[in-house]
Structure 1
Amino acid sequence: MSNEIYFANNYRDLCEQHGTGAGFQFEFSCWRCHDTWRSAFEPYTSGRVAGWADRVVGSAWGAFGRTGSEATSALGGLVGANWGPAKDAAFQKSIEDAKVHFNRCGRCTNYVCGRCWNAAQGLCLNCAPDTAAEALAAQQRGLNDAVSQRAYETGSAQAASFDTGQRRQLVCPQCSTETHGARFCPGCGHRLAQADHCSSCNAEVPQGAAFCPDCGTRR
């Protein structure tokens, strides 16, 4: 048997070693679209028997005592010893089954599902995209780019009427409402981006200042 490992990165281990649900199952995923396929569940009989024995001895500890505990410990050791080889065999079988549902791209070497496979080229759709789909996507990109350019030109034409020197506040200092550059706050009506002026010299006074920076008059 070959030691080569397939699906090294795109599978998930769903195996359970102990309990009534002990068994082997693996989930494989398409590298491109991430859709998944699960192998058939294969029970691990030894793990189920050990789980059953633990419950029996646990409920009858007084009757069996140390002897029963040693028996279940020995059985548990046997389960652990058999687990690795049994899991490897189950994994190998699931890989062989998964190969029917996935294709390996000859260019990027990734495994993809049938919907992501260009059978005519023997490549995945990332390496060999569908021609009709690419043409439609290119048409849409061309339309979007052209509309974006026209919208940009419209905005550029409107720039002449936009007062770039006007002061604006995007958040009201009184109630913290977003203003979107309006002259008055839509939340409380506070007049925005208007500097205070000194009552004595009419100089501009910074917001929060207690005295006029030009003449020293107290506000």
Structure 2
Amino acid sequence: MADAVPFTDNFSDLSNTQGYQFEFRCERCGNGFRSAFQRDTAETGRSVLRAVGSFFGGKLQDLSYSADQWRYNQATNSAAKDKALTAAVQEITPSFRQCRGCSDWMCSDQCWNEEIGQCLRCSPSVAEEVSRAQASAQRDQIWDKARTKDWTQDVDLDTRAKLTCPSCGVKADGGKFCASCGGSLAPVVHCTECGSQSKVGAMFCGDCGTRL
């Protein structure tokens, strides 16, 4: 009876018609490791058979068709692939640990807590958690302090803000005058009759009706 083939749920099959290769991924950080490519020596012989059969035709061509049928029917269910997968698992296993807490496979370099014997998801590093908590608290405190500070003390809220200078059309960054041409960002027209102010472009005074 053949030996059982070990496998995990965190790998992808990258095998092709030339040979076998597998990619294993950490289930926490997603980093992956690829096993060494294992060439299928039998496929090399089948390729030669197909080439010869295509050239000569007849019985040899029938044999080449049989070789192609083998490739499509047996590529994912073959003793060669089982052997290749077993070798790949043995090759990659030292780079992974299976956590007894969550049963996921973790890379030993980045996601494994060696001291506890579990993954960092189940047993986080104390130093990392302290650092993360400190950074989170610091961020919250910055936002709280920013909300209590008056950021509008020097901002002119009485004058309608202009995004572009009405004189030269350049983008304005605030203030009362354009930094490019010196023109007023809120120009007004004074009524000659009553002295009230109106916006540039107004035809008549809004207070006395005098034509501007």
Question: 1:113 Cα deviation (Å)?
Answer: 1.0
TM-score in terms of structure 2 length: 0.71
Return the alpha-carbon distance in structure 2 between the equivalents of residues 189 and 4 of structure 1.
Answer: 78
Matching of residues 166-177 of structure 1 within 5 Å: 166-172=159-165, 177=170
Matched, 1:24 2:15: no
Indicate how the Cα distance of structure 1 residues 204 and 210 shifts in structure 2: closer, same or farther if over 3 A, else same. Answer: closer
Once the two structures are superposed, what CA deviation does each residue of 1:112-141 show, in whole Å capped at 9, x if it has no partner? 111311133332112211112322343444
Query: Structure 1: 5+ residue runs without aligned partners?
Result: none
Matched, 1:46 2:42: yes
Matched, 1:126 2:126: no
Q: Which amino acid aligns with 2:163?
A: L
Matched, 1:78 2:70: yes
Question: 1:189 Cα deviation (Å)?
Answer: 5.1
More helix by share: 1
The equivalent of 1:117 in structure 2 is: 112
Indicate how the Cα distance of structure 1 residues 188 and 159 shifts in structure 2: closer, same or farther if over 3 A, else same. Answer: closer
Matched, 1:35 2:37: no
Query: Structure 2: 5+ residue runs without aligned partners?
Result: none
Q: Does the Cα contact within 8 Å between 1:46 and 1:79 map onto a contact in 2? A: no
Return the alpha-carbon distance in structure 2 between the equivalents of residues 85 and 172 of structure 1.
Answer: 74
Q: Does the Cα contact within 8 Å between 2:177 and 2:183 map onto a contact in 1? A: yes
Indicate how the Cα distance of structure 1 residues 195 and 187 shifts in structure 2: closer, same or farther if over 3 A, else same. Answer: closer
Return the alpha-carbon distance in structure 2 between the equivalents of residues 139 and 183 of structure 1.
Answer: 42
Q: Does the Cα contact within 8 Å between 2:20 and 2:37 map onto a contact in 1? A: yes
Question: 1:169 Cα deviation (Å)?
Answer: 2.2
Return the alpha-carbon distance in structure 1 between the equivalents of residues 183 and 53 of structure 2.
Answer: 79
TM-score in terms of structure 1 length: 0.69
CA RMSD across the alignment: 3.7
Return the alpha-carbon distance in structure 1 between the equivalents of residues 170 and 100 of structure 2.
Answer: 58
The equivalent of 1:100 in structure 2 is: 94
Indicate how the Cα distance of structure 1 residues 72 and 210 shifts in structure 2: closer, same or farther if over 3 A, else same. Answer: farther
Return the alpha-carbon distance in structure 2 between the equivalents of residues 175 and 198 of structure 1.
Answer: 21
Indicate how the Cα distance of structure 1 residues 198 and 56 shifts in structure 2: closer, same or farther if over 3 A, else same. Answer: farther
Three-state SS of the structure 2 residue aligned to 1:99 is helix
Question: 1:14 Cα deviation (Å)?
Answer: 1.8
Matching of residues 158-169 of structure 1 within 5 Å: 158-169=151-162
Q: Which amino acid aligns with 2:12?
A: R
Q: Which amino acid aligns with 2:108?
A: G
Matching of residues 196-211 of structure 1 within 5 Å: 196-197=188-189, 202=196, 204-205=198-199, 211=203
